[in-house]
Chain A
Amino acid sequence: MKNLIKIAIRNLFRYKRRTILTSTLIAFGVILVIVFGGLAISFKSQMIGIITNTSIGDLQIHKKGYVESIDNLPLNINLTTEELTSIEKKLKQMPEIAAYSPRIKFGAMISNYAQTSNIRLSAVYPEMESKTVPDLVKRIKGEVSDPTHFLKPGEIIVPENLMKGLSLNVGDEVVIVATNQDGSVNGLTLRIAAMMENVLGPSGKDGYIHIDDAAELLRMEKPAVVEIAVHLKSFEQLNKVYSQFRKDFSPASLFEVHTWEQLSPFASVARIVDILIIVVKFILISIVLVSILNIMTMSVYERIGEIGTLAAIGTPPGRILSLFIIEGFSMGLLSTIAGIILSLSALLLMNMIEIDFTFGQMDLTLNPGIPISEIILTTIIVMIISILASFQPAYKASKMEPVDALAHN
């Protein structure tokens, strides 16, 4: 084997220009996959981080049927106190859960006494909400002295576009009018504590009030929670925890659980990003396949006489096959190593120069990085394709009749 590798490597460097050109092409493909993958994964994970850490949470638990009607924000599909207690008990027992936040979500009217507009309100316990969506406070424009108590009873956080549209300022009073689940209309005066920047652009109309105010406004004896947002200690455990809930919430259960992907439209963007990464991998596969197949075919045709000599002096067909496969494999390996080194250098450089971009109204800095598993996967892809691409020419070489091959000398 050692001897075969030696011969294969020397043969590669025998045609330096051709080898360098082909290796450059393969290395370019590897760079494309790793750098694009690094950027795309970084973009995706940042966006997922924003979405899960500022509004949705990693998972949400609802009463069965709530998500189907989520656009109407139904108040009647809520959790009873007993149901909420049992879910909270379960959540506290699960070691993967970092925090959870019960919410009441409802539509209301907001008035500055002169103008009125509609608003979607999330009524929360600030301490629990700030632990469940820890980046929420970063979206609040105003003075928040204590992030864990960003909202007090009697206060409201109003989305930016409504602040502008209704000419409101922090400290102003507004009236919130809402209809409860029995159809009774009630109003409540609240003081604007801060302005909420919307992550997905200026069209958002999501505001926050304290859950006790919501109970008063909606005339609830006790807060009738419609949603429990859940924050995991590790995002990697999402599927495991989701599966656990799915198992616990059997079809007959009163509850349903959804991951952020099932609740956010960004999941489609994330899927497109994943598809693009796969497309780029297919481009790499094509580059490697065509390059190695081409160079190995040329190599076999140029060395027919040499193959005859090797066969004549006792080289079995299997060894000739191995020789050419090792040659193609070595080219793939060397090119991949070069590609990985250049890619990681490029990613390092990108991290140093800091690439800024804006998503919605949020200014973000990309920190491109590639998981080691992606590098290993890329390497494995190139290696497998190198072997497959080398196989046909190598097989042809191994099947040559020595007497015919020798005639080419």
Chain B
Amino acid sequence: MSLINIDNVTKLYQTGEISVTALKELTVNIEQSSFVSFIGPSGSGKSTLLNLIGSLDKPTYGKVIINNVDIATLDRTQSAAFRGSNIGFVFQNFNMIPVLTVYENVEYPLLMLKHIVVNERHERIFALLDKVGMLDQKDKYPNQISGGQKQRAAVARALVTNPKIVLADEPTANLDHKTAYKVISIMHEMQKEFGTTFIFSTHDTKIVDEAEIIYTLEDGAIINSEVKTKN
């Protein structure tokens, strides 16, 4: 079985009396350690799909099975625990917790996993901050660092729990070309090193070029898939 099994998923949003179909009978399977990109115009369903994979939302019809868990069967607390253990998030707006330092932001997801002892926690955080080049900024608050630095810290935060999947919704949208490239490179390195599955929704050609599998979405359905040969 694949790491991610999306089976005939439909997602409807109800706005008053109007029903909007965000995803339409979508089926896709994603293997472990993939570098996948979903592309498509605004409203094509990319973010909805990522929300389902991230167990932030539930399908109206069909099944989303992540790491052998049907996310529709989880209650809110179980969903949170599932996300904490299995999924890392990298957001377009970085979404750092403003009252926590870079170090504390990276540490936060580990605190949700009660079994990680203090020493191991520190080791993991220091190693990741070092890898993303943010060790010297660890004591700064998010408002004291640049957008690129925030996103690098966000990548460290997404990876600190050793998740099987990292979901990145437009991760380079608010970054300049050079910084965006650097962030993508870091993610790629992490994928190779930890075997993490990276899934992006993006318009950014830099990410698209880096992706191994590219799915094109339109009106809630996959209209094209492209698998690149690994070099």
For residue B157, which residues in chain A have a CB less than 8 angstroms away from its CB? 313
A315 touching B80 by the CB < 8 A rule?
A: yes
B98 touching A317 by the CB < 8 A rule?
A: no
Known: A3-B111, A313-B157, A316-B81. A10 touches B99 (CB 8 A): yes
**Partner pick for A314 among B93, B98, B109, CB 8 A cutoff:** B109
Number of A-B contacts (CB under 8 A): 71
Q: Chain A 307-326, CB within 8 Å of chain B: the 1/0 string?
A: 01111111111110000000
Q: Is A306 an interface residue (CB 8 A)?
A: yes
Q: Is A279 an interface residue (CB 8 A)?
A: no
A contact residues vs B (CB 8 Å cutoff): 3, 7, 10-11, 14, 305-306, 308-319, 401-403, 406, 409
For residue B91, which residues in chain A have a CB less than 8 angstroms away from its CB? 309, 406, 409
B100 touching A7 by the CB < 8 A rule?
A: yes
**Partner pick for B84 among A11, A306, A313, CB 8 A cutoff:** A313
A317 touching B100 by the CB < 8 A rule?
A: no
B80 touching A316 by the CB < 8 A rule?
A: yes
Name the distance in Å between A261's Cβ and chain B's nearest Cβ: 54
A7 touching B112 by the CB < 8 A rule?
A: no
A314 touching B97 by the CB < 8 A rule?
A: no
In the complex, residue of chain A having the shortest beta-carbon distance to the beta carbon of B79: A402
**Partner pick for B99 among A7, A312, A403, A409, CB 8 A cutoff:** A7
Name the distance in Å between B43's Cβ and chain A's nearest Cβ: 14
Q: Is B194 an interface residue (CB 8 A)?
A: no
Q: Is B89 an interface residue (CB 8 A)?
A: yes
For residue A409, which residues in chain B have a CB less than 8 angstroms away from its CB? 91-93, 95
The complex places the Cα of A319 from the Cα of B77 at a distance, in Å, of: 10
Known: A14-B99, A306-B98, A406-B56. A317 touches B89 (CB 8 A): no
For this complex, 28 residue pairs linking A to B, each with C-beta atoms less than 8 Å apart, are A3-B108, A7-B99, A11-B99, A14-B98, A14-B99, A305-B95, A306-B98, A310-B97, A311-B80, A312-B54, A313-B83, A313-B84, A313-B109, A313-B157, A314-B81, A314-B83, A314-B161, A315-B84, A317-B76, A317-B77, A318-B77, A401-B56, A402-B56, A403-B56, A403-B57, A406-B91, A406-B95, A409-B95
Q: Chain B 179-211, CB within 8 Å of chain A: the 1/0 string?
A: 000000000000000000000000000000000
A314 touching B56 by the CB < 8 A rule?
A: no
In the complex, residue of chain B having the shortest beta-carbon distance to the beta carbon of A2: B111
The complex places the Cα of A315 from the Cα of B111 at a distance, in Å, of: 9
Chain B 161-186 residues near chain A, CB threshold 8 A? 161
Name the distance in Å between A145's Cβ and chain B's nearest Cβ: 75
The complex places the Cα of A308 from the Cα of B97 at a distance, in Å, of: 11
Name the distance in Å between B89's Cβ and chain A's nearest Cβ: 5
The complex places the Cα of A316 from the Cα of B54 at a distance, in Å, of: 15
For residue B80, which residues in chain A have a CB less than 8 angstroms away from its CB? 311, 314-317
Q: Is B21 an interface residue (CB 8 A)?
A: no
The complex places the Cα of A313 from the Cα of B54 at a distance, in Å, of: 10
The complex places the Cα of A308 from the Cα of B91 at a distance, in Å, of: 11
Known A-B contacts: A305-B95, A314-B161, A316-B80. Give 17 more (CB < 8 A).
A7-B99, A10-B99, A10-B100, A11-B99, A309-B91, A309-B97, A312-B54, A312-B56, A313-B83, A313-B88, A314-B80, A314-B83, A314-B113, A315-B80, A317-B76, A406-B91, A409-B95
